[in-house]
Amino acid sequence: MSIPNIPIPEVKGSEIVYKGYFDLRVDLLQLPHGPKRPYTVLLTGVHASAVIAETQDGKFVVNREYRHPTGKWLLSCPGGRIDIGESPLQAASRELLEETGFAGKEYIEIGTIFPFPAVSDQPIHYIWAKDVKKIQPSELETFELIHTEVLSKEEILQEIASGAPVDGVLCTALFLRGLLG
């Protein structure tokens, strides 16, 4: 891995400007080529797991989830925050079960990506759940508005190609699983 020989900004000050589900911090950066500038950072405080859940017959368990900032129902994959003391695999298993009622025979970590590095340092651990089966009803949290579907690779790719609203986390999961490209 090659790292450029370019100076990085120096942090001259830092202040938490909002505390909530996520916190916001504003850093005052001294840029190597000139002025000081404020830079806003979203602090999640946790890692997350996303699950590409595959049935024994090669279909995928996906969610249509209402995401308030977009005002839309997005095609997505199950996932969420990793709780304290959990591994990414444990969180993936828990989130898959809670959101969909499905459980897998095997969970394999297939990659870790920073999906929004311009404003957050939160990584998402992508997990492939193999041979998933429905074992119970979903157990959604208050703000989770989720409809679970089982779709073929072709159906998912058709949704993406047609311009349907899609969560980029799902596209990354498909890519890491080797289903795009």
The pLDDT mean for the chain works out to: 95
Asked whether residue 181 is domain-assigned, the answer is no
Q: Are 80 and 157 members of one domain?
A: yes
Residues 157-174: tens digit of each pLDDT: 999 999 999 999 999 999
Output the pTM of the full model: 0.91
Let me know if 49 is exposed, middle or buried by CB neighbors in 10 A (0-12, 13-18, 19+).
buried
For residue 40, what pLDDT is reported? 97
Instruction: For residue 3, tell me if it sits in a domain.
Output: no
Q: Are residues 68 and 140 in the same domain?
A: yes
If asked whether residues 133 and 167 sit together in one domain, one would say: yes
Q: What is the pLDDT of residues 11-29, one digit of tens each?
A: 999 999 999 989 999 999 9
- Residue-range definition of the domain harbouring residue 15: 10-43
Residues 96 and 167 in one domain: yes
- Asked whether residue 24 falls in the same domain as residue 67, the answer is no
Domain of 154: which CATH number?
A: 3.90.79.10
Domain total of the chain: 2
| The Cα angle at residue 41 between residues 85 and 8, in degrees rounded to 5 | 105
- 15 and 94 belong to one structural domain: no
Tell me the pLDDT band of 179, cut-offs 50, 70 and 90: confident
Q: Are residues 30 and 116 in the same domain?
A: no
**pLDDT at residue 2 greater than cutoff 90:** no
Give 181's pLDDT tier (boundaries 50, 70, 90): low
Instruction: Evaluate whether residue 81 is within a structural domain.
Output: yes
CA distances from 111 to 3, 29, 47, 88, 151 (A): 21, 31, 13, 11, 23
Pairing of strands 124-134, 48-55: parallel
Same domain membership, residue 117 and residue 55: yes
